[in-house]
Amino acid sequence: MKEKILQLVRFQTESTESWGVQTDEGVRDLGAILKTCPTMLDAIGQWEQLGSQVESVLRDAPLLSDCQLLSPLPESGKTICIGLNYRDHAIETGADIPTEPVVFNKLAGTVCGPDDEIPLPQVSQQVDYEAELVLVIGKHAWNVDEREADDFIFGYMCGHDVSARDWQKGRPGGQWLLGKSFPNFAPTGPYLVPKSEIADPCNLRIQMRLNGETYQDSNTGQLIFSPSQLIAHLSQCTILQPGDLVFTGTPPGVGAARNPPRFLTPGDVCEVEVEGLGVLRNPVVAAQQ
């Protein structure tokens, strides 16, 4: 693991929304000085030229004293999720090891950022946590070969695939969609880390903590389908676009698989940590009227 990893952030101040880099001194606003690149999506689109310059322009970027971090990507594209993608989690749930990725998605209104509240829906009593590694697509990808698929990934971030089990399982048609799509059920961030900063995305420790206690602790080495395999598989069927998100699945230790089950309750604080990608912290709050 590199000593200092480049951590891109999107943020809001009193007057503006922009993107930049989290440094030891605080957030530096790159959107303010790079005129052709006012947004994170612009930065992703221009990264081939921009990536090598970031270190040198950083010291000229304004240092912000106060800003609120947002989800690294706005919810503009697709939020695709992979189910049962950890060998150890598939065994935990009693499911067969999939021979093809299990794919579902989340509706708009789910993506939120660090520190955003996760409201428990009034109609669910079984809201569960899932720590995940999220891929951020960097280029238009259609019918991509697995050997080239890595080129289409921009970077990685922590994600939380919040899941209402009583709306995920046993519903007509076997659809998981609604159980995965309540408001703020897809926290992401706090950082977007370009892929060049991560030596091997299939060797990262991944954890979920609730109120400081560890509930999931595994490694992306347990992934059944690697990021490249997922991009190749998905791009046969849908055009992936810059800024699209792929949640890659969760390791063992989810609440539904515990005895007794451990579902989220108001006042819980969830922390997803993926090695090198920071800590994604979100409080859980009671149902909103």
Stretch that binds Zn ion, among 127-135, 168-176, 206-214, 217-225 (CB under 5 A): 127-135
Cβ atoms of 157 and 188 closer than 8 Å: yes
- Of 29 and 161, the one with the shorter C-beta distance to Zn ion is 161
Query: Shortest distance, CB of residue 130 to Zn ion, whole angstroms?
Result: 4
CA dihedral (130, 196, 203, 248) in degrees, to 10, reads 30
130 is a contact residue toward Zn ion (CB under 5 A)? yes
271 is a contact residue toward Zn ion (CB under 5 A)? no
Query: Shortest distance, CB of residue 135 to Zn ion, whole angstroms?
Result: 13
- Of 20 and 101, the one with the shorter C-beta distance to Zn ion is 101
Q: Among 134, 180, 129, which residue's Cα sits nearest to residue 159?
A: 134
Stretch that binds Zn ion, among 71-79, 92-100, 110-118, 250-258 (CB under 5 A): 250-258
161 is a contact residue toward Zn ion (CB under 5 A)? yes
Amino acid symbol at 104: F
- Of 79 and 250, the one with the shorter C-beta distance to Zn ion is 250
Q: Which two tokens stand for residue 279?
A: 């800590």
Contact residue for Zn ion among 204, 250, 270, 272 (CB under 5 A):
250
Query: Shortest distance, CB of residue 168 to Zn ion, whole angstroms?
Result: 10
188 is a contact residue toward Zn ion (CB under 5 A)? no
Count residues near Zn ion (CB under 5 A).
Answer: 3
Amino acid symbol at 23: T
Cβ atoms within 10 Å, residue 100:
7
- Of 7 and 248, the one with the shorter C-beta distance to Zn ion is 248
128 is a contact residue toward Zn ion (CB under 5 A)? no
Stretch that binds Zn ion, among 136-144, 158-166, 170-178, 261-269 (CB under 5 A): 158-166
Stretch that binds Zn ion, among 118-126, 194-202, 229-237, 246-254 (CB under 5 A): 246-254
Q: Give 215-268 as a DSSP string.
A: EEEEEGGGBSS-HHHHHHHHTTTS-B-TT-EEE----S--GGGSSS-----TT-
Q: Among 159, 129, 125, which residue's Cα sits nearest to residue 252?
A: 129
Q: Among 85, 105, 273, 77, which residue's Cα sits nearest to residue 185?
A: 105
Cβ atoms within 10 Å, residue 94:
7
Query: Shortest distance, CB of residue 75 to Zn ion, whole angstroms?
Result: 17
Q: Which residues bind Zn ion (CB under 5 A)?
A: 130, 161, 250
